[in-house]
């Protein structure tokens, strides 16, 4: 079996060591005589797994006291709606910083439950840059400020954490969580769909400050209330045990790589290699994103002649590279450089890109 170089934006590559461990455990996990998917989530074995996964994540991110870690379901999109349900009451408003497709969707899904105000946006710039901080119009009394640190489709990324004063900062970190160290204490709530840097789709990891769990929110069923999930150790209902198990393996793999400092250094090298290839191609390849806003995780790029797009994609796939087609909203190409994408994979990609440019330039 030959594994391809996988640059998918999500569901994305998982570390090969994690997949091999899962393969090894598939029929007999932890000496149980069954797969982890076949055992009770309330049994001693799984409860120990869950506790270790949380402990590993807390170590990786240096999660301070006063925060709960939740393993939820629904994908980030569900939580676009569920967050205002939990953090705001009737008549409340929240500020949204919109820098791409997922920020737009967060506003749209929140709007039935809260007065979602767009405090800043870069839509006029086609989401190719970030809105300057002095243009943000944060409103007094906001329940929270929401932003997307990394936009997967448009390839823009905040390289700092915005200062929004005493208002809780909420971040959709789906495509950049665990890619480098993060000061969790700067946030009120962090959430991330697992399918990019954590594990398989169907799991959401959330880190939420205790005082926000105590907010009354609005009337809703218990299953939607984060405080209920926290009180029940994320087992208010049957959780995604397979996703939780693979997330725990991924956390352990990250610790074995040297943690998030080492991972951040590797991710920076990968992005530098690819952007230098694009910028040094004499215009054959182009990055449309403003340099200061370029994402390390998702690198969209175009060819100087769009007529070559189909040729590039066909040849790259034949050469063993997966999922380099850009999102339909922006076109072109996109290479996603999540944690499980090795520096070797990026080096192979840039070799192909240079060869392609030499043959088609």
Pairing of strands 204-209, 298-303: unpaired
Q: Give the list of residues 6+ apart from residue 1 with CB closer than 8 angstroms, or none.
A: none
Q: Give the list of residues 6+ apart from residue 316 with CB closer than 8 angstroms, or none.
A: 324, 352, 356
Q: Which residues pair with 322 in a beta bridge?
A: 6
Query: Tokens at residue 146, please?
Result: 């929401």
Q: Give the list of residues 6+ apart from residue 354 with CB closer than 8 angstroms, or none.
A: 277, 281
Element (H or E) spanning 53, and its range? helix 44-61
Which positions are annotated as active-site residues? 102, 172, 196
- Output the DSSP codes for 81-103: HHHHHHH--TT-EEEEEE-SHHH
Chain length of the chain: 361
Pairing of strands 145-147, 169-172: parallel
Question: What sign does the dihedral 255-261-266-270 (CA atoms) show?
Answer: positive
């Amino acid at each position: 079996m030959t594994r391809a170089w996988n640059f998918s934006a999500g569901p994305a590559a998982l570390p090969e060591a994690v997949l091999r461990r899962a393969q090894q455990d598939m029929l007999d996990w932890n000496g149980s005589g069954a797969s982890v998917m076949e055992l009770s989530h309330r049994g001693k074995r799984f409860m120990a797994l869950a506790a270790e996964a949380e402990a590993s994540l807390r170590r990786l991110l240096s999660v301070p006291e006063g925060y709960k870690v939740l393993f939820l379901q629904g994908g980030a999109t569900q939580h676009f709606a569920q967050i205002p349900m939990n953090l705001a009451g009737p008549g409340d408003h929240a500020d949204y910083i919109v820098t791409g497709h997922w920020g737009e969707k967060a506003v749209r899904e929140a709007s039935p439950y809260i007065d979602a105000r767009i405090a800043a946006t870069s839509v006029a710039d086609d989401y190719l840059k970030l809105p300057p901080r002095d243009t943000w119009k944060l409103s007094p009394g906001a329940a929270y400020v929401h932003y997307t640190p990394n936009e997967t489709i448009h390839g823009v990324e905040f390289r700092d954490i915005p200062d929004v004063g005493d208002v809780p900062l909420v971040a959709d970190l789906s495509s950049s969580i665990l890619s480098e160290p993060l000061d969790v204490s700067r946030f009120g709530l962090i959430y991330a769909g697992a399918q990019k840097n954590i594990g398989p789709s169907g799991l959401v990891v959330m880190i939420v400050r205790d005082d926000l769990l105590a907010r009354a929110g609005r009337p809703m069923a218990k299953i939607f209330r984060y405080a209920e999930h926290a009180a029940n150790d994320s087992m208010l209902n049957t959780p995604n045990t397979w996703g939780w198990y693979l997330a725990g393996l991924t956390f352990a793999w990250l610790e074995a790589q040297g943690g998030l400092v080492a991972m951040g250094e590797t991710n920076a090298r990968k992005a530098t290699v690819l952007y230098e290839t694009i910028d040094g191609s004499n215009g054959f390849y182009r990055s449309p994103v403003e340099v200061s806003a370029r994402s390390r995780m998702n690198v969209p790029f175009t060819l100087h002649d769009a007529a070559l797009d189909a040729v590039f994609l066909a040849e790259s796939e034949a050469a063993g590279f997966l999922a380099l087609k850009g999102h339909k909203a922006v076109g072109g190409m996109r290479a996603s450089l999540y944690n499980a994408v090795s520096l070797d994979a990026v080096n192979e990609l840039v070799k192909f890109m240079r060869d392609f440019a030499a043959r088609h330039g």
